[in-house]
Structure 1
Amino acid sequence: MQLETYISDLLYRYECVTVPEFGAFLTQKTSATINEATHAFYPPKKTISFNEQIRQNDGLLAHYIADVEKIPFEEAANQVINRVKSLKSILTQGETISFDNIGALKLNEEGNMLFEPSYHLNYLTDAFGLSQFVSPEVTREIYKEEVEQIEKVIPLTVTPEKRKSRPYFKYAAVALLALTIGGFAASNYYVNQVETHNQLAQEEATQQLETKIQEATFVIENPLPAITFNVTKQTGNYHIVAGAFRVEENCDKKISQLKAEGFKARKIGANKYGLHQVAYSSHNDRLEALKALRDIKKSHNKDAWLLVKNLNN
């Protein structure tokens, strides 16, 4: 199983992709940079790191594999376990593991994992279509030398008296400034055109990536009576999903059931398949959401999973 392919897919949408009993690949957004020596401009991107201390299974990777390969969740989880055993065996033999477009892993003398990230792929969808470029150096000194040569040829504009009475160079400076502003305006127009093109391309890429996101569906054979509670409206982009229902009435009954059990359940809208989604709770903090997800999977529902989405609360 090409585990790195599934990890790579998930890194576009998630900040943490955990490989159970192996470690977690983390992403962090970095701003655009400039190399002053080479005059190279680099777009913003996601930098990748690896933490072997994060090994708790959150179900994200196995759910995604099960959804893509159309296999049961348990079978996907077993495939991940077998692949991890193989990876550990390779590392203990002193070899290096290379994950395409992610990075390379190996063990140091103390037995700890060393990670060298790959820079071939930018996982920041906001920077889709952007690439590095080199800008020519601005040669202001050359223009200064040209002005000095003109002063030698036309001495009337060199003397202090003439400069005070006939500010030719003041007019020349104004004309040069006007030309520069015109150049900046044309440059901004070009940049705006490029940004528009990149935005359209980004939206198309995001739409294609959406087709690979997992769904969890629950069936309630004996729905409970509907109960209404007045609660404080939740906010946050991290949602712990309890299930998705084609019939909205079952969705409401599931919410009532979870609230009766003490959860801050609510609807989080329909997904692309038209299924009404129910969340145990929503959180502003990612680490807080992951902790709550682990507790729910351990004590209530092992198939719960984390959805990262802005609901415009």
Structure 2
Amino acid sequence: MHIDSYISDLLYRYDCVTIPGFGAFLTTRVSAKVHETTNSFYPPKKVLSFNEQLQHNDGLLSSYIAEVEKIPYESAVKKLNKHVKAIKAYLVEGETITFENIGDLTLNEEGNIIFDPSYHINYLTDAFGLSQFVSQNVTREAYKQEVEAIEQAVPLTITPEKRQARPYLKYAAIAVIALGLGGFLGSNYYINQIETQNQIAQEEANKQLENKIQEATFVIDNPLPAVTLNVKKQTGNYHIIAGAFRVEKNSDKKVSQLKALGYPARKIGQNRYGLHEVVYASYENRLEALEALREVKNNHNTAAWLLVKALD
């Protein structure tokens, strides 16, 4: 039984997934943060933890197993109980139980379960496509000191006395302003004249074109037969996400790659972070979507996940 993959699927949608008679995996949302020492930026995420005290069967995991494997609920409960007994036996023998993409479980000297979470997957769907990055430190104070040093080394050389000693500069400035104003007014007048002539010519051309269209007669002796194309449009609210891209060109490339592999891939728009989402396919039936998701995870992409969303 691939219990770790079932739990991993549920952690995207639920904050608590309980293994009856064993314990529960919990998720806590953590906001985005910045490490001041390394200048690293971390996106928001779900932090995993394990609580050995929560062992009551809430039916979530058993129902999901029954739904995916298409077996009765009672059979799913029995298989789950048998798997739990095997896990406990391995732990008692001192072995480490690894849940793929979730974490490792071991027993300490007091017989309590110790959980070491995995950081390979961010189960917060709102942060899908976001990753850690490092930014260079901005040293504004250092630049300010450099500017102050330059100002001290290069003082202003134009003084009021020197400006008064050159009265011809004032008249030259007045002449430049007058020439500029005259040129501006003349240019506007010339442009208005050109626009008026263009408008008249355009109206005359439109009138001639309308007359020719009214006089023309179109006769098709051998019309082409009508062709009907039946294109199956993908519908449904269950979408298997292949990736989300900030650059739309990359999302188009991903769609082409998946179509070359035989998937009916397409883009479904942008998420709340402005990322272009690409899906393997969309389904109307939830069971069909879950079966397709398992096939994609096993054969192509273990990071694929199911998005439940009604598209406009």
Alignment of 1:136-215 (within 5 A): 136-156=136-156, 196=270, 198-199=273-274, 201=276, 211=286
Residue 13 in structure 1 maps to residue 88 in structure 2: no
Q: From the CA coordinates, give the structure whose radius of gyration is larger.
A: 2
What is the rounded CA distance, in whole Å, between the counterparts of 2:36 and 2:130 in structure 1?
19
Distance 1:210 1:33, change over 3 A: farther
Q: Secondary structure at the match of 1:156?
A: coil
Once the two structures are TM-superposed, the CA of residue 214 in structure 1 deviates from its matched residue by: 11
Runs of 4+ in 1 over 3 A off after TM superposition: 195-215
Once the two structures are TM-superposed, the CA of residue 213 in structure 1 deviates from its matched residue by: 9.9
Unaligned 5+ residue runs, structure 2? 158-245, 249-268, 291-307
Distance 1:85 1:145, change over 3 A: same
Once the two structures are TM-superposed, the CA of residue 152 in structure 1 deviates from its matched residue by: 3.2
Contact 2:98 2:104 in 1 (8 A): yes
Query: When the two structures are superposed, what TM-score results if normalisation uses the length of structure 2?
Result: 0.52
Alignment of 1:1-313 (within 5 A): 1-156=1-156, 196=270, 198-199=273-274, 201=276, 211=286
What is the rounded CA distance, in whole Å, between the counterparts of 1:68 and 1:75 in structure 2?
13
Distance 1:58 1:202, change over 3 A: farther
Distance 1:123 1:20, change over 3 A: same
Unaligned 5+ residue runs, structure 1? 158-190, 216-308
| 1:209-242 deviation digits (Å, cap 9, x = unpaired) | 9936999xxxxxxxxxxxxxxxxxxxxxxxxxxx
Query: When the two structures are superposed, what TM-score results if normalisation uses the length of structure 1?
Result: 0.52
Once the two structures are TM-superposed, the CA of residue 98 in structure 1 deviates from its matched residue by: 1.2
1:211 partner letter: R
Distance 1:26 1:137, change over 3 A: same
Contact 2:282 2:289 in 1 (8 A): no
Distance 1:119 1:84, change over 3 A: same
What is the rounded CA distance, in whole Å, between the counterparts of 1:129 and 1:89 in structure 2?
39
Once the two structures are TM-superposed, the CA of residue 71 in structure 1 deviates from its matched residue by: 1.6
| Larger mean Cα displacement after TM superposition, 3-12 or 58-67 | 58-67
Contact 2:283 2:289 in 1 (8 A): no
| 1:26-55 deviation digits (Å, cap 9, x = unpaired) | 111110011111101000011111111111
| Two-structure CA RMSD over aligned residues (Å) | 3.4
2:112 partner letter: N
What is the rounded CA distance, in whole Å, between the counterparts of 1:115 and 1:209 in structure 2?
38
Once the two structures are TM-superposed, the CA of residue 75 in structure 1 deviates from its matched residue by: 1.7
Of all paired residues, the percent bearing the same amino acid is: 57
